[in-house]
Structures are given as structure tokens and as C-alpha cells.
A = this chain, B = another copy of it.
Amino acid sequence: MMKVTLIGAGNLATQLGKSLHRAGVEICQVFSRTEESARTLAGLLDADWLTDVSRLRSDADIYVLSVKDSVLCRLIPEVCKGRGDKLFLHTAGSMPMRCFEGQARHYGVLYPMQTFSKKHEVCFADIPVFIEGNTQETEEQIRSFARRLSRRIFSLSSSDRQYLHLAAVWACNFTNYCYGVASKLLSEHGIPFDVMLPLIDETTRKIHKSAPAEAQTGPAVRGDRNVMRRQLALMDGRSDLQELYRLISAGIGEEASATHAAPDEESH
């Protein structure tokens, strides 16, 4: 039976640990600097917990580090030392595989493309998982481990993974920022945010079927300068939003003229 120790007890570690546990993987230990986090997750996974990395045992086959980027580099030497036959993985989108270099013989990356929260269960099986190993043999070992989690496994280099992570910032964090601006505009005029949800759901649904550039609608893709001028005026006193509105509208306009694609939609 495969044995895993989790370094980190945050959102990703929590969902990863639960999915592994459900898949029949034994979780040996859960480490977190925060006792409550370590204890809580370990409790869910029938594992031991620790807050002092020097108490880490060597009975696991795989050590998975799911911690903040800034903590990762500091923890790697302590976790790898004296465990030369083990496999070490991190789960960070923006950290290269080589941060294990000189610290371990078998190492790599397992990066799931999803946003995680502790409380909110996710179905790992559908999450694309991007893997990388320091040798072909290690990568195959990581692949068979990843298969316990997901059906969608891709090999990806550290270099390309950076762009994947950047794309996720645009697709997730920056779209969420746009929702936030919409929410603020509505609340200032007494309109509940939930009137936007059918529109948001439909926008999301459309890109399951069409490329984003083809699905684009609204004043910018129509080149409707009157509407754009009036909308800019509505944000008077918010020069930051006006600047974003100008830049994004220009980007949409350029994209439309570059693709020569007639917009598919007429309203919004």
C-alpha cells in the first residue's frame, strides 16, 4: 500500500489529502506550523500530526509539500534530508521543479488546476493535474500516483507551468475582480448582485462551446463609441476603473479586428 505524508494543511493539502484517503492511500503524517490545522486535517485522514518538522518520520513513500511558495524553499532541505530513497513532490504552480535540485534524488511536481477551499468539497477526478518528474522513471511514478486522483493527467515543464499559472490568474482571479466591480456598481444603486448570476452563468457556459474571442459581446466588440463614452462617464471619480475600462475595451476591439470575426451576439 502506498504511503503519503503531507507537508502543509491548507486548502489544497486538505482536498488532496481527502481525495487520497478516499482512494485508499494511507496518510502517515500531516505537518503544519499551525497546530490546529495539522490536528484537524490529520483527524480527517486518520494520520498523525506534527508542527515540528524535525519529528517527521521516514515511513512514507511520497512526501507532498503543499505550502506557500515562500515557505517551500526553506522546508525542502529539512524534509528531504536523510530520505534519499523517497519521492518528493510540490504542488505550486509558479515554483520550478529545480527547487528540489541537490536536495533529493527523486522529485517532481503535481499541480492541480483548480481553486480549493477547506470547507468546499471538490471532485478531484475531473481536475486537470499537471505533472513533471526529474527523470522519466520518476515522472512515470508520479503519473501512477496522480492516476489515483484524476483522470486528466498532463506532463508539463516548469517553464510552461508558469504560463499555465498565469493563465489561471487571468481566468480565475481577474474575472473574479470583474465580478467584484460589477457587484460594487450594483450595490451603489440598490440592485442586488444576484441579478447578474444568469448572465455570468451563461457567459461561462458559452466558453465551453466557443473560443472566448468568438463569444465576445458588448459595446467594445461592436465598436460602439457612444455607449463606451457614456459608460466611462458613469465611473467619474474612479479613474482606476476608467483606465481599466479603456484598456480592456481597446483589447477587445483589437482582438475583434485581428480575428475579423463578426461578433456572434448583439446584446451585451
Contact = CB atoms under 8 A, between A and B. Distances in A.
A212 B179 contact: yes
A154 B191 CA distance: 9
A183 B91 CA distance: 22
A136 interface: no
Contact of A204 (B195, B204, B218, B234): B204
A93 to B, nearest CB: 7
Interface stretch (A23-31, A52-60, A225-233): A225-233
From A11, A252, A267, name the one whose CB has the most chain B CB atoms within 10 angstroms.
Answer: A267
Contacts of A226: 69-70
Interface residues of A, number: 99
Contact of A182 (B168, B193, B221, B252): B168
A171 B162 contact: no
Contacts of A235: 166
Interface string A65-81: 01011100000000000
B185 A170 contact: yes
B176 A207 contact: yes
Given A224-B69, A243-B247, A202 B115 contact: yes
Contacts of A268: 93, 114-116, 165, 168-169, 172-173
Nearest to A115: B268
Contacts of A215: 176
A180 B234 contact: no
A208 interface: yes
Given A10-B266, A163-B185, A183-B211, A175 B178 contact: yes
Contact of A116 (B183, B224, B240, B266): B266
29 contacts: A94-B230, A114-B199, A114-B268, A116-B268, A120-B206, A160-B189, A163-B186, A163-B189, A163-B234, A164-B186, A164-B189, A166-B234, A168-B196, A168-B218, A168-B268, A169-B220, A169-B231, A170-B179, A170-B182, A173-B220, A176-B212, A176-B215, A177-B248, A177-B252, A179-B207, A179-B212, A193-B211, A197-B208, A244-B251
Which 3 pairs from chain A and chain B are nearest by CB? A173-B218, A180-B212, A167-B182
